[in-house]
């Protein structure tokens, strides 16, 4: 299932609607990286509320997305990781090191607003 | 969320490699594509829910299935996932068997270490799975294949 | 013994009152991970002043708590590790890598105020 | 905080496996649940305090007991903890014996390595305990059990 990507002002929001195959996740990655340049977006939110499993592949792909987006000059926030999913990820050793997280869409938007306010109109992203 | 009881066995001997055809009543899901991973873990979650496992444990089962199926896809395709409900001594549990006729693992102890991977991947799969479940067994013979058997007991 | 969890403004404070069994610690973990989402907390403090022993299990569980809370978009600070406990932990090789610590409750609150002031009202957490 | 004297022995031979019943005057705490870990380490701290060990060394004793009891719970339950006060050549010390009839350890040298774990755990317990105490001895025979004996001397 293709993940819809919505443009909301200077941000892109990828809203996962259901469990994803590996190919779906890779499409999401490629689409975000392409769109963030075409639409000159300053931030990206990936909402994973609907993901009931986050295995090593999904976790790695989300990290990759955040790093690729950063190299394109924008910020990424992963939002909506459910409690059971967080529990299982940590037991597996999947900690999304270096990736920003927020509780939900609202938290993600607030974070991006804060971050991008501090920088220029077209923004710039800094490695952590 | 986790029972402290835990069994671990590494078997690398002359045990008969279990044929998937031998277990007739259990649903056997072949793993040949990324879509099969999705189907297998959805089956696993449904069975875990039916058994009355917590949503936390349902997530654990689905994730474990995902990791084991992914290894089959990466290293030993095709393979099979067998899901079964156990009942012993009044305890109920869910058993997952991931089985393949792939190349096998030469050094199992090494494969079980965090960070060891032959595919440039994270090497978290097998040790992580072991941490998530109650019972964990891996049997492998080079040239014949690998069988990982895990059990999550209902608390 | 159940560890009481107090809500103080945007923060949660888990105050260990005595030596804990493994099960008590796991309950604390599960309760914090659940509450941080339900109450939309921006930070979590675990006060371990009363813990006279920190073995590998306790240490690992505290790390797990910090990582799970981060995946839910909030910050964690462990406060109150006593000198003898710190000594023994380091000899055992338990260094709480990647986990933020502070001397006491006050230090923990100051840290969280600093961190969350920099970010939005709903906050977001980044791994170090 | 630590005496420089330190003995280490790995015994894997024909020494008689010590029965907990043989030591009648010593308090033997069975380790079967996580609550027993708590009780054992509180006993240990109390005895260390009685003996006049520093609060630092009391914490060391309680932590060492916790780690050894945890290994029994994870790998070899049930087992026993025996605490005793030693007095030799005018020196006083506290001895902790952790004993089980579990599966034993096949490769002790490996089990003593930092990071080696068969449970996906940290693998810090045994090497860490050795670092914390003055005398450390481990005896194990596969199929019979494991005995770890440590001593902390009063400086
Ligand atoms: N079913 C299998 N068949 C053959 N080799 C396997 C199989 N599963 C795992 N392995 C081997 O064990 C290694 C460790 O696996 P794992 O811990 O899951 O990490 P990763 O998949 O990230 O490499 C793999 O890199 C691979 O060499
Ligand atoms: N009492 C015991 N009986 C059997 N095996 C044991 C026992 N204690 C330790 N072991 C083995 O030694 C390994 C290393 O132990 P340890 O250093 O305490 O680390 P960890 O408990 O984190 O694995 C364990 O993983 C286990 O295989």
Name the residue among C57, C87, C91 with its Cβ closest to that of D70: C57
Distance CA C34, CA D8 (A): 46
Distance CA D76, CA D104 (A): 8
Q: Which residue of B has its CA nearest to A1?
A: B35
C91-128 confidence digits (pLDDT tens): 999 999 889 999 999 999 999 999 877 654 445 665 54
The residue length of chain C stands at 128
Q: Is C22 close to B1, i.e. CB distance below 8 A?
A: no
What is the per-residue pLDDT for D140?
96
* Residue keyed to tokens 């305090």: D49
What is the per-residue pLDDT for C127?
52
* Least confident span in B2-16, B141-155, C107-121: B2-16
CA D107 / ligand 2 centre spacing (Å) = 11
Q: Which ligand is nearest to the CA of B67?
A: 1
Give, for ligand 1, the residue of B10, B69, B126 to mutate: max count of ligand atoms closer than 8 Å to Cβ. B126
Assess whether the C-beta atom of D119 lies below 6 angstroms from ligand 2: yes
Mean pLDDT of B75-83: 92
Assess whether the C-beta atom of D128 lies below 6 angstroms from ligand 2: no
Task: Quote the tokens at residue B117.
Answer: 């991977």
* Bridge partners (DSSP) listed for residue D74: none
- Helix and strand counts by DSSP (H, E) for chain D: 4, 6
D8-49 confidence digits (pLDDT tens): 444 443 344 444 443 334 678 899 999 999 999 999 999 999
Mean pLDDT of D86-91: 90
Strands B145-153 and B91-100: antiparallel
Q: Which residue of C has its CA nearest to B2?
A: C26
pLDDT at B151 over 80: yes
What is the interface pTM, i.e. ipTM, of the complex?
Answer: 0.84
pLDDT at B41 over 80: yes
What is the per-residue pLDDT for C121?
46
- Residues B21, B30: contact at Cβ < 8 Å? no
- Helix, strand, coil shares of chain D, percent, nearest 5, are 35, 30, 35
The CA radius of gyration of chain D, in Å to the nearest whole number, is: 15
Q: Name the CA dihedral angle for B28, B29, B32, B34, rounded to a multiple of 10 degrees.
A: -160
Q: Is B104 helix (H, G, I), strand (E, B) or coil?
A: coil
pLDDT-based confidence at residue B19 (cuts at 50, 70, 90):
very low
Task: Quote the tokens at residue B109.
Answer: 């102890």
Neighbours of B87 (CB within 10 A): 10
pLDDT-based confidence at residue D54 (cuts at 50, 70, 90):
very high
- Give the closest residue to C85 by CA, choosing from D41, B144, D33: D41
- Residues B68, B81: contact at Cβ < 8 Å? yes
Q: How far is CA C54 from each of CA D8, D97, D121, rounded to the nearest angstrom?
A: 25, 20, 16
Q: Whose CA is nearest to atom 23 of ligand 1?
A: B117
Across D2-13, b (16+ Cβ under 10 Å) vs e yields beeeeeeeeebe
A53 vs B contacts (CB less than 8 Å): 41, 59, 62-63, 66
Neighbours of C20 (CB within 10 A): 23
What is the per-residue pLDDT for B12?
41
CA C48 / ligand 1 centre spacing (Å) = 39
pLDDT at A18 over 80: yes
pLDDT at B14 over 50: no
Q: Whose CA is nearest to atom 12 of ligand 1?
A: B111
Mean pLDDT of A93-110: 94
Chain D, window 54-113: residues with a beta carbon less than 8 angstroms from a chain B beta carbon: 73-74
pTM of the model: 0.86
Q: Whose CA is nearest to atom 25 of ligand 1?
A: B117
Q: Is C26 close to B4, i.e. CB distance below 8 A?
A: no
More confident call, D120 vs A93: A93
Mean pLDDT of B41-53: 95
Q: CA A118, A121, A126 angle in degrees (round to 5)?
A: 55
């Amino acid at each position: 299932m293709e993940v819809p990507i919505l443009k909301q002002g200077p941000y892109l929001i990828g809203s996962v609607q259901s469990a994803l195959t590996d190919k779906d996740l890779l499409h999401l990655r490629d689409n975000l990286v392409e769109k963030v340049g075409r639409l000159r977006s300053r931030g990206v939110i990936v909402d994973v509320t609907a993901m009931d499993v986050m295995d090593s592949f999904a976790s790695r792909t989300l990290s990759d997305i955040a790093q690729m987006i950063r190299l394109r000059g924008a910020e990424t926030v992963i939002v909506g990781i459910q409690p059971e999913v967080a529990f299982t990820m940590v037991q597996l050793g999947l900690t999304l090191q270096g990736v920003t997280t927020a509780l939900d869409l609202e938290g993600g938007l607030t974070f991006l607003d804060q971050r991008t306010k501090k920088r220029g109109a077209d923004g710039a992203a800094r490695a952590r | 969320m986790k029972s402290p009881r835990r069994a671990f066995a590494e078997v690398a001997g002359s045990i008969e490699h279990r044929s998937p055809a031998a277990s007739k009543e259990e649903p056997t899901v072949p793993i040949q594509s990324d879509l099969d991973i999705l189907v297998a873990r959805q089956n696993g979650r449904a069975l875990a829910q039916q058994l009355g496992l917590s949503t936390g444990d349902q997530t654990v089962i689905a994730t474990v299935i995902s990791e084991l199926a992914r290894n089959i896809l990466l290293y030993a395709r095709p393979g099979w996932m067998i899901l079964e409900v156990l009942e012993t001594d009044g305890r109920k549990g869910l058993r997952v068997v991931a089985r393949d006729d792939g190349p096998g693992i030469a050094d199992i102890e090494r494969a079980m270490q965090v960070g060891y991977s032959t595919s440039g991947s994270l090497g978290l799969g097998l040790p992580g799975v072991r941490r998530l479940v109650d019972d964990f067994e891996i049997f492998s013979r080079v040239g014949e294949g690998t069988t990982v058997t895990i059990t999550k007991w209902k608390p």
